[in-house]
Structure 1
């Protein structure tokens, strides 16, 4: 393919490459030094950038300097703080599709302004200046919202609550929380636990809490009882659900609630909710 492209004018090559993907353009640059200029052109990489990238740059928390559209593309892939530092925008390196992270400050968290229940703190591992830590509460309610016009069309997105669990955590395994993702009249619900279940907890559960937990599980909707999964950045995530972005602009609500068990709990640290493409 590279040999045939070498026979074409550079602007024709740029047009052809712009119809592929960022990954294809990078492969072509490695395959043929003579095609590198065409594959690196602003014409090509402007096509890979989201159509509203200028609006995203205007929302950036600090100025983003770049000398080419290719450089800008990869800077956006590395993620950019926007909206005063309470959200993160990034592009998927392979597909170029848009991703967002809503910080704890961008979420609606019940009683988050009550110092007896929650405390705002910092974590060196967090990309945000603040995270929120649960001190003690019986009913947890967390909601995030995003409009599909900010996302890539014709794409299935997953939503993930990003958390850590402190050494002082308690009560997070007592009953499953209700999780849901809703858009317009459509809502899909499931259940999840806020703490990973290690071997020691399994043994304690079988000895002490199994009957109580079975009784309390009847209070929530049936579901998978999802558990947090480890992330590469040192945090954990729980998938809240997924939704499909069509051509129409719609608001998506992402919820986690544990309001029926009335079990005191603490030690949950929330960084935010990530919305990213599933394919």
Structure 2
């Protein structure tokens, strides 16, 4: 009963006052409170509310979209950005988190630095329908796997913890990918003053193969596995590939905090350099940078 009278009292406030209150909450709160009454629904749809939820540089982001965005209100624009758009000539994607309005980016394979990426005997660039980008990179054969991506902290939501995730697939004919663990790291800062925030290792295996592979290695190749792993410089936490809802797999490269004290360039590295082991059949879509909660 108390809640009912509280809502009735709020309903008596001027609509612009309710809008001002809602703009100081979150997108998720605004969606929920719009169900309270017709007054709240009207107030929650005001441009002044969604202007606060949109990033400060939304106009520049919209201008970089590969497809012109048509929207009837700032709320409409917010919802379109939540569905992800392609920007920068289709080589990146951008999205807002619907509940918080925090930014996410994905760097396509074309935006990454891939060792021998332009050598046709090592990598093939092709279109596949399940990718959001025009091209992905498919590994034919190589001995040293080195992939690196970069993004500026200033383009991200301020004071936010982010995770960087390599998004990939393995072809049916993939080989040699799990012989030696890969090293992964994230560093923040300029070239002369970079701070490595996280480091880890991973064997590139499909999630369904992990348990069987681990048992076989323990039973037959335990000593060999430990010797190979000892050749990895970084050490750190061992991470696993996991299935995504879009049909791809991902592995966390690392995490970092986009704050005022560590502004600069974020460098994400995914390497396997301490061996000369032939491998192939890896398909790289890109690196996704999204908020962690």
The normalised TM-score by structure 2 is: 0.91
Partners of 1:130 and 1:205 in 2: CA distance? 36
Instruction: Indicate the SS of the match to 1:26.
Output: helix
1:181 aligns with 186
Distance in 1 between residues matched to 2:250 and 2:108, nearest whole Å: 13
Given candidates 59, 69, 74, the residue that maps to 1:69 is: 74
Candidates 231, 236, 242, aligned match of 1:229: 242
Aligned-pair CA distance for 1:91: 0.3
Deviation for aligned residue 1:206: 4.5
- Name whichever of 43-52 and 211-220 sits farther off: 211-220
Shift of 1:224: 2.4
CA distance in 2, matches of 1:25, 1:39: 6
The DSSP-based 3-state class of the residue aligned with 2:95 is strand
In 1, Cα distance between equivalents of 2:238 and 2:278 = 19
Q: Distance in 1 between matches of 2:236 and 2:173?
A: 28
Map 1:125-204; keep pairs closer than 5 Å. Answer: 125-184=130-189, 185-187=194-196, 188-196=198-206, 197-202=209-214, 204=216
Give the equivalent residue in structure 2 for 1:250: 264
Correspondence for 1:18 = 23
1:41 is matched with which residue: 28, 46, 70? Answer: 46
Residue 111 (structure 1) aligned to one of 111, 116, 132: 116
The alignment yields a C-alpha RMSD, in angstroms, of: 1.4
Contact 1:2 1:28 in 2 (8 A): no
What do the CA deviations read for 1:36-59 (whole angstroms, capped 9, x no partner)? Answer: 111101111111100100010111
Secondary structure of 1:85's aligned partner: coil
Which segments of 5 or more consecutive residues in structure 1 lack a partner in the other structure?
Answer: none
Deviation, structure 1 residue 31? 1.9
CA contact (8 A) 2:103 2:290 kept: yes
Q: Distance in 2 between matches of 1:106 and 1:20?
A: 35
1:263 is matched with which residue? 277
Please state how far the C-alpha of 1:200 moved relative to its aligned partner: 4.4
When the two structures are superposed, what TM-score results if normalisation uses the length of structure 1? Answer: 0.96
C-alpha offsets along residues 197-217 of structure 1, whole Å, 9 cap, x if unaligned? 344434553465443322211
CA contact (8 A) 1:110 1:141 kept: yes
CA offsets 1:79-130 (integer angstroms, 9 cap, x no match): 0100000000100001100000000000000001011111011221111111
Count of matched residue positions in the alignment of Structure 1 and Structure 2: 279
Counterparts in 2 of 1:78 and 1:12: CA distance versus 1, 3 Å: same
Cα shift at 1:25: 0.8
User: Which of 194, 219, 223 is equivalent to 2:231?
Assistant: 219
Q: For 1:237 and 1:3, locate their aligned partners in 2 and report how far apart those are by CA, in whole Å.
A: 48
